[in-house]
Structure 1
Amino acid sequence: MNQKLYLIFLFISLKTFSQTEKSKIIQDSVKKEELNEVVITASRRSENLMHSPISIEQLKSAEAKKMGSATIYEALENVKGVQIITPSLGFKVINTRGFANSTNVRFAQLVDGIDNQAPHLGAPIANALGANDLDIDKIEIIPGTAAALYGMNAINGLANIQTKNPFEYQGVSVQQLTGVNHVGNIDRFSPKVYSQFNLRFAKAFSEKFAFKTNISTTGGTDWVADDRTDLAPLANASTNLFGTDNPAYDEVNGYGNESANRKTLNLNGKNYVVARTGYRETDISDYEIKNYKADVGFYFRPKQGHELAVTYKTALINTIYQRSNRFRLDNYNLNQYAIDYHTPVFQVKVYATTENTGDSYNMRSLAENMDRAFKSDDKWFADYSTAYKNAITSGATVADAHRMARNSSDQGRFTPGTEAYENKKNELIDINNWDIGAALRVKSTLVHGEGLINWDKAFASFFEKIDAKLLSGFDYRNYIIVPDGNYFINPVNASENLTYQKYGGFTQLTKNLFQENLTLGATLRIDKADYFDATFTPQFTAVYAPKETISFRTSYQTGYRFPSIFEGFSNVNSGGVKRVGGLRIMSDGIFENSYTKASIDKFQAQVNTDVNSNGLTQAAAIEKNKNTIQKNPYTYLEPEFVKSFEFGFRGMTLNRNLFIDADFYYNSYENFIAQVEASVPNTNDPNLIPTALYSKNTQNRYRLWTNSKSKIYNYGGSLGLKYRIDQTFTALTNVTFTKLDRTDDKDGLEDGFNTPEFNVNGTLIANNIWRNLGASVTARYQNNFDYVSFLVSGTVPAYWSMDAQMNYGFKKGISAKLGATNLLNKPYTSILGGPSIGGLYYLSLVWETKI
């Protein structure tokens, strides 16, 4: 009996010991893997994460899938130092370190090192041309300038989405994610179905040949933008007309009633600013999302370490996009063709991206021209004046008279939902002239070539002796725009395409010292773009790693950003204001002969006050206030420039269960590329200029791309912690602090910082709670912040939200994930003018099998 008990006890002890040792081996291997995690984006060569010379964040696919985010791309919101703004459910924008906006031309986004921007925008349309969840291996992010190594205008950061190689990851994978949003009557919609389908197929036919293809479809109903805040609340302050009594009422998400659609009317001896009625976004926009993308790749390995990849990607986009205006993208098509050949010694990459905006349209132009299609501005304002005077004569109050005048003038207006309205809308969105239509018709191509050579691989024995590495690279880029006569023209030859070229190169030297505990690096880059002189971009780095689990880093970097195609070459009329690129070839003579809109607005307001409150005649008021008008002090575009100092620490402690990553930076910017509104009077007589600038009919109005005269300084830091509590639980948390330090020579043109000071994320992940059941919960908070844009400026409210998910791995390669983003369905906005974001509740099923 005692022997049996002893044998049973011995068996249990051995089994427990075996499980404990197995758990310890698993944990130790995971810690070792984390410690030696390889990244390539920070230095454009494979290196240990602990020894990276600059800040770099990494999100692996396996970790992202354990978070509540519906997709891996959206899980970037949980990464240290990353801010994501949401102009649309189908369009999310990544930014780091301040100066965020909905078209982030300061942040580059790559897929396997290939830029996936839409050429004429100069920025990506979220992940529309990127990889789907089944094909993403990991995402690396540089949260700071990457211009010295990449030269892609990446002065605020860069993301590189790395996909799964078909030689290493073979098989068939299928994912169906089905969800629901618009729950709980948070907007005009009842609950709507959201769906995403992903397919991946990869096969290596031999050690030399492999094939890969991916297909993805996304469908649903977008979040609604319906902010009714008045953007002109004081336009009629001198007549005490506020709120809904204000005849210049301009809703944030109402279009066709902006400043360009307003006129000052003298009615019964008083000056009133009156706007046309316009339409709300909810009346003129299509909120249906239908996005499709696919890619195919052929891979050839002639010998070990050598690989040739030939790939093709395509995307068809139907969603909402936001910049200075809100746009509906319909049948917007992107195609990309790429060839990449790399060896241990060198790499050559060539790709081309084509863009066709399809049937897309500008919502503001649509609203403006829907109004004008039933009655011209001159006729409408004349009818308004007559109706107002009749109402006053009949004994109406001033406020009621304005309401009666509007109702009278709007008689016959196209009514949303009617057949006549839909017919006129379809007609206008096919007219490629924003003075009378709303179409966005752009065709463009980006052609890019680059090469890298590892001199230390080519001459290994020499560089091993001096314990150093030398990397050189070059790149060439050409933007080719087909002039459409509305958005873009060729100012030299209207019959030829518009081209804009840039080329550059860099050399990077790194040297190990003190038995490789100290690594010093220096990079020098030179870039030259059409219309600009050559620029030099140096980078100096140092990494000190006294032992395997600790490293300190510091760097000094600079970066240039050349104007995008839109900033340099745009030539479009919008609501009576012509938006013109800032290159001299586009705007020659305008800067020198124009006056700033800010001073003209002030001048007009003072004239109205003197007429309405002080009894002056209009001519006398103009004469009194004419010195308020200021000449335009700005001039033609130059590249932006940033200088950045950075310090950081990485380390593992508590038996390597706690990973710590911290960074601090200080940036200074010059020559911010921004917009100024200015007008050229239709007279050269100095005595008549004030009178000409008082009326919109006697001036030509422009919105010009130029450089701010401000020097801007910002600083910040972030702290990320990852703690492996035990084999089941892991806690992740990070806090990011971003601060606009000061602005010297402030001129009001500097881009909005548009970034919360504090952004905090915390995630608790549980693996194998019971059998193959896992779960996680994420809490996220950001404080309120000032937001500045041409669409709307104001304060974005603080918000906090929660994401959660449960996942289970079945047999035969099937896994399920039940999750929710914004679990509590508390609507929030990430940018002004954008939509109100509610909860998304979903179930994702994935089936994977090897072949």
Structure 2
Amino acid sequence: MKIQLYLFLFLISFNCFSQVENSKRSQDSIKKEELNEIVITASRRSEKIMRSPISIEQLKSAEAKTMGSPSIYEALENIKGVQIITPSLGFKVINTRGFANSTNVRFAQLVDGIDNQAPHLGAPIANALGANDLDIDKIEIIPGTAAALYGMNAINGLANIQTKNPFEYQGVSIQQLTGVNHVGNIDRFSPKIYSQFNLRFAKAFNEKFAFKINASTTGGTDWVADDRTDLAPNANASTNLYGTDNPAYDEVNGYGNESANRKTLNLNGKNYVVARTGYRETDISDYGIKNYKADVGFYFRPKKGNELAVTYKTALINTIYQRSNRFRLDNYTLNQIAVDYHTPIFQVKGYATFENTGNSYNLRSLAENMDRAYKSDDQWFADYSVAYKNAITNGSAVADAHKIARTSSDQGRFEPGTDAYNQEKEELININNWDYGAALRVKSTLVHAEGLLNWDKAFLTFFEKIDAQLLSGFDYRTYIIVPDGNYFINPVNPSENLTYQKTGAFTQLKKDFLDRKISLGATIRMDKADYFNTKFTPQFTAVYAPKNEISFRASYQNGYRFPSIFEGFSNVNSGGVKRVGGLRIMSDGIFENSYTKASIDKFQSQVNNDVNTLGITQAQAIEKNKNTIQKNPYTYLQPEFVNSFEFGFRGIALKQNLFIDADFYYNSYKNFIAQVEASIPNTTDPKQIPTALYSKNTQNRYRLWTNSKSKIYNYGGSLGLKYRIDKTFTALTNVTYTKLDRTDDKDGLEDGFNTPEFNINGTLIAANIWKNLGASATARYQNNFDYVSFLVSGTVPAYWSMDAQINYNFKKAGITTKLGGTNILNKPYNSILGGPSIGGLYYLSLVWETK
């Protein structure tokens, strides 16, 4: 497959360069296009992309329409340096430069400079509060830390979705996209219809007043997660029980048979690790997608250059969401109201986001508590022991006896699809305690205010004389969480809401030299969050542009990420394990008095092995292996930190028809925010501690947010080429290389790098092949990579896929048609472990626009 893809990209590149001398040139050259392209996200002020001091990627709506992706958001997968992971058909996650996960709290996502995160997570729920395709003008992405200008949650990168202003883009636009997925028996579904409807209406009444309305609906059937790999393959290795004979069998996408649902049973003189049966996701999950979003904005321009915008957004989400567990989001709502006033001299902005998880629930908790609803753990394991011994007495082999015992113990179990199951499910998903139910019930609010002041605009003459620019900004943010008694509590005042505040400010100075061929910049940022000392974040940049067509850039910056609400304050009861936020206010005393789960698991395994292979008693085995148990060496949360060095080049060549953009970076991280599992024994007698930690019934188990002791280094680079062959054909190709350099003081808590080493894209776009007919094809490849998460760890296989589309513009009618598909060869692949298998999606899009 690699050879086929490399050949495909080589042929595109060869075709591009071989036609340089013979092709007829377009008047609109790459030079004209790129030299005049304006970006704002990199420096928080308008500047030409060739002069940007840091790497910034851009995808314009017009360009995305020529790609095979059904939306501009999905087309980001074709952009240099961008990694997209897909936990759900209705939920895609953007990441850059490594350390990806399905809740990417290190990558910020803005819409017109407004954060669209779900407050309690500290990360966006896909594109829920994002604009629909008809209203997006372009998306700008900073691949790398942007903390100096944007503060916390931007240490890995930032995306800013910029929408169309109703003064400049007026009229009615309607899009209906109808498609089909689950084609070719790739999973349990027959082909299913996928539908998306988008509406945009914008009107300027005069030069002062305008408004716009957007609405979008998405419906379909999600991709299926059905990985049956055993996560505990060696749990019974000492008794030679493997695969389907393993009584601790734990499928990746089977829930209720995890470590918390296992017990060691002594049966006929042997120790066996036995798990409850659990349920497969495919049997208990609702894979229906029904997402809705809308927004309305009012705009007022009191005078030229000044604008007041008041916007309101709402979203209703029904889809699958993946974190350390898989969740069903059901009637999950987000609402946001924002006010923005800007002039050439200053900008002030304020917004509030309101989150309500509705009737959402945890699939793992549903599975394990569905098992417990018909029979308690103690009763089930007791029945299992009796049935096993009876089967052995009747002459059954060991493996068969375990199967007989499971069948016997499972009698009376709720079976998916039955009325009894549905009734019990409805009860469980409304119980807000994961020890007994599965409900996710969170209500939270984010309130944000910020301002910017362009000193060089306020004091124009002075700054023109010194050829410099000075920008200052401030921001204030507070999170407000309504304690639900399970997911969140207020440890100080239980009857009051939980709050978490942060304040930041920055100043950025840029100075030009040598007739603006050299530009130097320096930024200093200060951030103060509750429970933490003030942190300072510097950034230094340099741009050298010997002529308009060439620029070199270099930068150094560092950044901090403060813990999210969930990392700092969570208080979740989950199957006998309590997940606790890492701030001292939440976990005081736990770190100092606990022992790590990793050492306890090793201790228990060694005890079982010695009992089964040496013939000694359990008490003797515990005494023999007690020194394996280790005290918890971790402590309370501190912010993450990154140092980043970056170098880059942009240039235009081959008679102004080739645009080149390359970058290289080196990062070092410390204090990764991660989770550690630990237990406190129910005794303070040192002699009794090993015995207490051998059984889960005599210990209190915790999952704690803390900081890894590891220092981690990674580096990488990317090369992007855009070549205009002639008036009809344009070729785009990019290669991204991302490498984990090394890890010092490795302790196993560092977040998984979770990023392919190589990611390659190649796109050939043909515009106006015949009259108003256009087409494109994209090939995409990424190599296999290690994936580490609390849900599952392993290797994500390499894959390559192709997207394609043809489009035709009926100009008189104002209708554009687009027939296309993603993964058109329908070869299923996984972007992450534990997530769904992604097949082909084929669609027809009709867009009608009138001005």
Separation in structure 1 between the aligned mates of residue 153 and residue 597 of structure 2, nearest angstrom: 30
Output the TM-score relative to the length of structure 1.
0.97
Q: Secondary structure, in 3 states, of the residue corresponding to 1:556?
A: strand
Separation in structure 2 between the aligned mates of residue 511 and residue 438 of structure 1, nearest angstrom: 57
**For residue 317 of structure 1, what is the aligned residue in structure 2?**
317
Alignment-mate amino acid for residue 833 of structure 2: L
Separation in structure 1 between the aligned mates of residue 653 and residue 710 of structure 2, nearest angstrom: 44
Are 1:801 and 2:801 counterparts?
Answer: yes
What displacement does 1:575 show?
1.3
**For residue 592 of structure 1, what is the aligned residue in structure 2?**
592
What displacement does 1:174 show?
0.2
What displacement does 1:336 show?
0.3
Separation in structure 2 between the aligned mates of residue 137 and residue 753 of structure 1, nearest angstrom: 32
Alignment-mate amino acid for residue 273 of structure 1: V
Separation in structure 2 between the aligned mates of residue 751 and residue 436 of structure 1, nearest angstrom: 30
Q: Secondary structure, in 3 states, of the residue corresponding to 2:27?
A: helix
Separation in structure 1 between the aligned mates of residue 465 and residue 338 of structure 2, nearest angstrom: 37
8 Å contact from structure 2 (residues 428, 438) kept in 1: yes
Q: Secondary structure, in 3 states, of the residue corresponding to 1:741?
A: strand
8 Å contact from structure 2 (residues 479, 500) kept in 1: yes
Alignment-mate amino acid for residue 764 of structure 2: L
Separation in structure 2 between the aligned mates of residue 613 and residue 723 of structure 1, nearest angstrom: 67
Deviations 1:567-605 (A, max 9, x none): 000000111110000000000000000000000000000
Q: Secondary structure, in 3 states, of the residue corresponding to 2:139?
A: strand
**For residue 831 of structure 1, what is the aligned residue in structure 2?**
832
**For residue 46 of structure 1, what is the aligned residue in structure 2?**
46
Separation in structure 1 between the aligned mates of residue 502 and residue 100 of structure 2, nearest angstrom: 25
Are 1:813 and 2:814 counterparts?
Answer: yes
**For residue 822 of structure 1, what is the aligned residue in structure 2?**
823
| Correspondences of 1:21-100 after superposition (within 5 Å) | 27-28=27-28, 31-100=31-100
Two-structure CA RMSD over aligned residues (Å): 0.8
Deviations 1:196-255 (A, max 9, x none): 000000000000000000000000000000000000000000000000000000000000
**For residue 702 of structure 1, what is the aligned residue in structure 2?**
702
Separation in structure 2 between the aligned mates of residue 482 and residue 573 of structure 1, nearest angstrom: 17
Are 1:354 and 2:354 counterparts?
Answer: yes
Deviations 1:715-754 (A, max 9, x none): 0000000000000000000000000000000000000000
Alignment-mate amino acid for residue 302 of structure 2: P
**For residue 733 of structure 2, what is the aligned residue in structure 1?**
733
**For residue 6 of structure 1, what is the aligned residue in structure 2?**
none
What displacement does 1:655 show?
1.1
Separation in structure 2 between the aligned mates of residue 445 and residue 524 of structure 1, nearest angstrom: 29
Are 1:479 and 2:482 counterparts?
Answer: no
**For residue 9 of structure 2, what is the aligned residue in structure 1?**
none
Separation in structure 2 between the aligned mates of residue 352 and residue 551 of structure 1, nearest angstrom: 40
Separation in structure 2 between the aligned mates of residue 245 and residue 257 of structure 1, nearest angstrom: 15
Output the TM-score relative to the length of structure 2.
0.97
Deviations 1:40-85 (A, max 9, x none): 0000000010000000000000000000001100000000000000
Deviations 1:121-179 (A, max 9, x none): 11001111100000000000000000000103200000000000000000000000000
What displacement does 1:33 show?
2.8
**For residue 165 of structure 2, what is the aligned residue in structure 1?**
165
Closer/same/farther in 2, CA of residues 609 and 29 from structure 1, 3 Å limit: closer
**For residue 7 of structure 1, what is the aligned residue in structure 2?**
none
What displacement does 1:35 show?
1.4
What displacement does 1:31 show?
3.5
Q: Secondary structure, in 3 states, of the residue corresponding to 1:305?
A: coil
Paired residues in the alignment total: 828
**For residue 844 of structure 1, what is the aligned residue in structure 2?**
845
Are 1:400 and 2:408 counterparts?
Answer: no
Separation in structure 2 between the aligned mates of residue 322 and residue 606 of structure 1, nearest angstrom: 33
8 Å contact from structure 2 (residues 713, 741) kept in 1: yes
8 Å contact from structure 2 (residues 25, 727) kept in 1: no
What displacement does 1:283 show?
1.1
**For residue 208 of structure 2, what is the aligned residue in structure 1?**
208
Separation in structure 2 between the aligned mates of residue 781 and residue 24 of structure 1, nearest angstrom: 32
**For residue 621 of structure 1, what is the aligned residue in structure 2?**
621
Are 1:516 and 2:523 counterparts?
Answer: no
Separation in structure 2 between the aligned mates of residue 592 and residue 682 of structure 1, nearest angstrom: 14
What displacement does 1:36 show?
1.4
Deviations 1:391-429 (A, max 9, x none): 000000000000000000000000111111111111110
Deviations 1:644-676 (A, max 9, x none): 000000000111100000000000001000000
| Correspondences of 1:680-759 after superposition (within 5 Å) | 680-759=680-759
Separation in structure 2 between the aligned mates of residue 532 and residue 152 of structure 1, nearest angstrom: 13
Alignment-mate amino acid for residue 767 of structure 1: A
**For residue 122 of structure 1, what is the aligned residue in structure 2?**
122
**For residue 541 of structure 1, what is the aligned residue in structure 2?**
541
Q: Percent identity?
A: 87
What displacement does 1:28 show?
3.3
**For residue 142 of structure 2, what is the aligned residue in structure 1?**
142
8 Å contact from structure 2 (residues 30, 652) kept in 1: no
Alignment-mate amino acid for residue 493 of structure 2: N
Q: Secondary structure, in 3 states, of the residue corresponding to 1:528?
A: strand
Deviations 1:250-297 (A, max 9, x none): 000000000000000000010000000000001111000000000000
Separation in structure 2 between the aligned mates of residue 751 and residue 25 of structure 1, nearest angstrom: 49
What displacement does 1:24 show?
8.0
8 Å contact from structure 2 (residues 29, 657) kept in 1: no
Runs of 5+ unmatched residues, structure 2: 1-22
| Correspondences of 1:217-228 after superposition (within 5 Å) | 217-228=217-228
Separation in structure 1 between the aligned mates of residue 752 and residue 778 of structure 2, nearest angstrom: 29
Alignment-mate amino acid for residue 712 of structure 1: I
Separation in structure 1 between the aligned mates of residue 26 and residue 302 of structure 2, nearest angstrom: 36
Runs of 5+ unmatched residues, structure 1: 1-22
Separation in structure 2 between the aligned mates of residue 26 and residue 385 of structure 1, nearest angstrom: 80
What displacement does 1:25 show?
9.0
| Correspondences of 1:302-341 after superposition (within 5 Å) | 302-341=302-341
**For residue 500 of structure 2, what is the aligned residue in structure 1?**
500
Deviations 1:610-630 (A, max 9, x none): 100001100000000000000
**For residue 446 of structure 2, what is the aligned residue in structure 1?**
446
8 Å contact from structure 2 (residues 30, 724) kept in 1: no
**For residue 13 of structure 2, what is the aligned residue in structure 1?**
none
Q: Secondary structure, in 3 states, of the residue corresponding to 1:777?
A: strand
Q: Secondary structure, in 3 states, of the residue corresponding to 1:341?
A: strand
Moved beyond 4 Å, runs of 4+: 23-26
Deviations 1:510-555 (A, max 9, x none): 0000100000000000000000000000000000000000000000
Q: Secondary structure, in 3 states, of the residue corresponding to 2:734?
A: strand
**For residue 630 of structure 2, what is the aligned residue in structure 1?**
630
